Amino acid sequence: MSKTTIFPMNDRTVNTALQLSIAAVERDTGIGKDTLRVWERRYGFPQPHRDASGDRLYPLDQVERLRVIKRLLDGGHRPAQVVALPIDELDALARGRSSVETSPDAAAASGSEQMPTQSAEVHAYLALLKRHDAELLRRALLQDAMRMGISRFVTEVVAPLNYGVGQAWMRGELEVFEEHLYSEVIQRVLRTAIDAIPLGEAAQSRPKVLMTTVPQEPHVLGLLMAEAMLALEGCRCVQLGAQLPLGNMLMAAQAHAADVLVLSFSSLLQAAQVFDALAELRDRLPRAVELWAGGSNPALRKRLPEGVRVTAALTDLAHSVHDWRERHRVSGF
């Protein structure tokens, strides 16, 4: 019988051209052969096919899932926590370990039409990151910000680059330290660009906006991107960082005499967490303080508590500001 003859396993047709041997999987993922066999018995995954000789063959979708599992194990998870999880839950956990948002839904949240397709610029920036030339990466990004203007820079460069970096990390093409380096560089660039935006008189800089994330939401790049768009509209923004307790948000809103509280939600949080946080804040905030929410979390596309304004894209923030000023009869600069 020919070596290429294939016998189905569990009524599945096997195509060896699209599968890897156990040795190839070990090389690709860094997970040992013995470990793969133990997981197969203990957790029911992976589920390899067999070739005519009875050797294990792993479909590419299972190999990709194993790559994500390996990244999570390297990040501190235990096999019992992750091996049996479906790929969507693994991806959600991986996004939580990542310091940048990796969801394709970030395209809608940014107003960019370029994701998930990666442009030549994104590939060039990823190459600089892999060369570990942080200063050259920072200068190149800052030059693009100055050349393009901050609005286009945020939506056409930063948003797709965030996605590209996050996806590269999940595929194992970037190490954790490289991804963290990118996060630090892009935050510096955004802060530099924001600081260069002139601010008008206090009376002309309303609404005064507080910006933060709820507990369990570590991503802050979305907040900085939103701040850039708001600063372009002349708003006075106060960044409070990530994962601020809800009670502290209430105190900060009073202390800063805020007009608006802006929250960013990545795809990391569950829908119930998003809804509960927004409901509690809207109930406890003074009615004069508006509550705006944005980001890539799918819960923002569902019905939310009354009195919460959702900005579906970063480019929608300008309209939100203009609407606020019309209702409060305040002009911008």
Q: What are the tens digits of pLDDT across the range 264-302?
A: 998 778 889 999 999 999 999 999 999 999 998 889 999
User: Residue 239 CA to chain centroid, in angstroms?
Assistant: 19
Looking at residues 18-38, what average pLDDT do you find?
90
CATH 1.10.1660.10 maps onto the chain at: 16-97
User: Residue 127 CA to chain centroid, in angstroms?
Assistant: 20
CA atoms within 13 A on the CB side of 240: 24
pLDDT digits (tens, 9 = 90+) for 132-180: 999 999 999 999 999 999 999 999 999 889 888 877 876 678 887 888 8
Helix (H, G, I), strand (E, B) or coil at 229: helix
Supply the DSSP symbol for 49. E
Residue 114: pLDDT above 50?
A: no
User: Residue 80 CA to chain centroid, in angstroms?
Assistant: 25
Percent of the chain with pLDDT over 70: 84
CATH 1.10.1240 maps onto the chain at: 106-195
Residue 263: pLDDT above 80?
A: yes
Superfamily for domain range 202-328 = Cobalamin-binding domain (3.40.50.280)
Supply the DSSP symbol for 299. G
Of residues 244, 246, 311, the one with CA closest to residue 278 = 246
pLDDT digits (tens, 9 = 90+) for 45-88: 999 999 999 999 999 999 989 988 988 887 678 899 899 999 98
Topology, domain 106-195 = 1.10.1240
Percent of the chain with pLDDT over 90: 59
The tokens 């999570």 sit on which residue? 72
If 0-12 CB within 10 Å is exposed, 13-18 middle and 19+ buried, where does residue 30 land?
A: middle
Q: Which residue has the higher pLDDT, 106 or 244?
A: 244
Looking at residues 236-248, what average pLDDT do you find?
96
Query: Right CATH number for 16-97 from 3.30.470.20, 1.10.3720.10, 1.10.1660.10, 3.40.50.1110?
Result: 1.10.1660.10
